[in-house]
Structure 1
Amino acid sequence: MTDAVGFRAPTDWKTDAMQKRIRKRYRAERRFRALGLAAVAMSAAFLIFLLAVMVGNGAAGFMRTEVALPIDFKAAPLDIDRAQLATRGADLALAGAGLQDRVATAATAAFGEKGEELIAENAWTAVRDAIKADPNLLSQRAHVWVPASSDLDAAADGGGEPAMQAEVRKLRERGALQSGFNAGFLSRADSTDPTAVGIWGAFKGSLLTMLVTLLIAFPIGVLSAVYLEEYAPKNRWTDLIEVSINNLAAVPSIIFGLLGLAVFLGTFGLPRSAPLVGGLTLALMIMPVIVIAGRNAIKAVPPSIRDAALGIGASRVQVVFHHVLPLALPGILTGTIIGMARALGETAPLLLIGMRAFIVTPPGGVFDPATVLPVQIFLWSDEVSRGFIEKTSAAIIVLLVFLLAMNALAIYLRNRFETRW
C-alpha cells in the first residue's frame, strides 16, 4: 500500500493474515523436505534390497560342494600307457580309456544305485586331473574329491529335495562331503554343467570389448567435440550435425546392433562374435554421449582463459590443447564414464552381432569368438537347471564389481586432473 507521495508503507509481519501466510509457507517447505527425504530413503531401500538379494543368491555361486569318491584302479586298471600322461594328448587318452564310465561305476559302487546322481557330469575331469598330477593313482585305491551334482549342492546349502538332504547327512557322517570357495568359477569359461561353469571367458570378452570401445569412441568423440565447439562455423550444416548428434544419443541400442550387423559383418566381413565387432558397435552407440558431454565441458571453460592465452601469443591449437582441453577434461571423463557404463551393461546390440555363442575357451584376442558378461548372464538365466540360478546371481556380482572398478578408475583420473588445475 502506498501513500499520496508514492512511498510504500512497510509490511506489518505481525498481523494475523501475514502470520497465516508465513505458517502456510513453512508447512509447504516442510512437506517438500519430507517428500525429498522419503524419495531418498525409498531409493536407498530399493538399492539395499537389490544388493541383499544379489549377494544372498550369488554367494552360493562362489561356493563348491565336493564328494570324496573312492576309486580302486588297482583292482581294475585302466588300459593306458603312462607315457601318454606326459603328452598333450593325455586328456584324450584318458577319455578313450573309459575313465568317465569308470568314475560312474565307482560312484554307484560307493553310494548305491543313485550314486551317479550325487556327482556332477564333469566329475570325471577332476579324476583325470588328479591322475595327470599323480600317475601312481593308476596302480592303487584312492579317494578323489569330485564336484557334487547340482541337486546335492542345493541340498548341502539347506534346500533341495528331502531325499538329497538325507544323502547329505549320510555323506557328512562319513566325512565324504566338503564345501569351499570355487576358484574355478573365476578361471573357467562356459559349460553345459552348472558345476563346471566359469565367468573368466565372458569377463575377458567384456574387457576386450570395452577396450576396443574406449580406444575408438574416446578420441573420436573428444576431437569431434573440439571441432564443433572451437572451429566449426555456425551455419545450417553445423546446426544439422548438432541436432543429429542429440538424436543419436536417444536412439535405442538395438538400432546400433542392426547397424553393426549390416556394416561390420555384412559389408566389411569382420569375424562374427568377435570383441572387435562388439567394440565398434558399442563405440558408435556411446560416441554421441561423449560428444555432447565434451562440448558442454569445453563450453564451460571461461572465455578469459582463451583470451589470456591468445594475448601472450599462443596459437589457436595451443590454446585448445594446452589450456582448454586440460580444464575441460574432468567433464569429458564424466561423460565417458556414463557412456562406458551404458556400454558395459548392453545386451541387445551384441546379441544381433552374434556375441551369444556358446564359448568354452576364453578369447585370445579381439578377433576370436567371445561373449560378454551381460549376455552370459542372459544365457544362464534362461537355463532350466537350478544350479545356473546361483551362477547367474554370482555373475551379476562380478559385473557390478567390474562396473565399480571401471568407474573408480575414471573418477580417480578425473580427480587427478582436477587437482592439477
Structure 2
Amino acid sequence: MEERVIFLINKFEAGQMVDAEKTELLNFIENHPDTVSGEILNLLSAHDLVHVGDEEMDIDQNRWNLVFNKIVAVDQFKHPKKTSISVYFRWAAAAVLILAFASIFIYKIREKQHVFTADIAPGGNKAILTLANGKKISLSDVADGDLIKEAGLSISKTASGHLVYNVVNGDLSASENETNTITTPNGGEWQIHLPDGSDVWLNAASSLEYPLNIGNATTRNVKLKGEAYFEVAKDSAHPFVVETEKQKLEVLGTHFNINSYTDERATRTTLLEGSVRVSSLTNTSEYEVLKPGEQSVLSAQGIKINTVDTDESVAWKKGYFMFNNEKQESILRKISRWYNIKVEYADEEAKDVMYYGTVSRFDKISQVLHKFEQTGEVRFEMQGNKLIVYKD
C-alpha cells in the first residue's frame, strides 16, 4: 500500500490525479493516519509540514488538509560525492491548485533554474490494445467502462488507467492461439489485470502479448518487449512464463521486474518476492534461480546474479526515477523514453558523468534537467523534442 500512496502523491502533485484516485488517497489517509504519519514519512529522507490557517472550511477542504498535515512529498537529488543539490517541498503548491480557498504556508528550498525556451510535460496513461482480430483500440482516447466482450471475456478500462479482464459467466471460449497485445509508446504507461488474476504494470516504449485463455492454460505464457513489473497470481499447477528477446523466466506466483529494452546492453530481472527461474534463450542449459533482493543480468557474457536495492528497479512504477551512481547516458535513455525526446551529445564525455538521487517522473523535463545542471558538470539545450547535452 505504501507504493500506491507514494504513486498517488506524485500524481496529485503533478496535477494528474483523477477523481477516483483523489477519493482513494483521501480515504486511505482518513482510515490509516498512524500508517501515513509513521511508515510513509519514514520512507522519505527529509520532510516538512504544511500548516493551514483557515478554520472555516467545508468538509472536502478539511479532508485535504488532513492529507497535507500527514504526508509531504520531497524530491532530493544529490551528486555522487554527496553534495546536496536541492530539496523540494511542493505539496502545498499542488494544494493551491485544488484548494482555491485554503490558506497554506509553504516552505521550499529552490535555486534559480535554467530557463528552457521549450518545455515538455511528463508521460502518462497511453497505450494501444490490439485485439485477437487485429482491431486496435487507443486506450487513452476511449471512455471509461466496458470496452468489448471477446471470447467469453469482458474487457474494461478504469478511470485510473487500468485495463481489466473478467470471465463472463464462467464461459471462457478463447483458444490458445487468440491473443491480445497492449503497447505503450514513448511517454506512455499502463496497468493490466490479466484473465488469470495477475497484474502487470507496463513502462514506456513496451509491449505485452498474452493469450486470452491464460486463465485456463496449462502454462501461462506471455511475451514482453521493454519493461514491466509483474505480480503473478499464485497457481502451482499452472506455471507463469515470461519470454523476452533473450531470456525465459518461469514462476508459480511472485513479484518481479524485467527490463528488456533492446537499446540496453543487458536484460535485468529483479525479484521482490517468491522465486523465479531465469534462463538464456541462446544457451538453454544456462539458468539461475533468484531469491528476493537479487537481480539477474543477462548479457553476452552469460547470466550474473547481484544483490541489489529493489527500490531502484521498481522506482518507475512508484512514479519516480532513482539513480545509484549511474552514468548519465543510461539515465537519459530512461528520460528519453518517458518524455518522448531524442538525445544528442555535443560532448561525448558527458555520457560518463555519474549521479545518484531520486527525481519525480511527474515533473516537467526542465525541472528534471535542472537537477543535473546543478552539479556544475553538464548543461542542456532543448530544441523542439531534441535534447543537446554539453559537458561543462
Structure index of larger Rg: 1
Q: Which has the higher helix share?
A: 1
Q: Which has the higher strand share?
A: 2
TM-score, normalization by structure 1? 0.21
TM-score, normalization by structure 2? 0.22
Higher relative CO (CA 8 A, sep ≥ 6), structure 1 or 2? 1
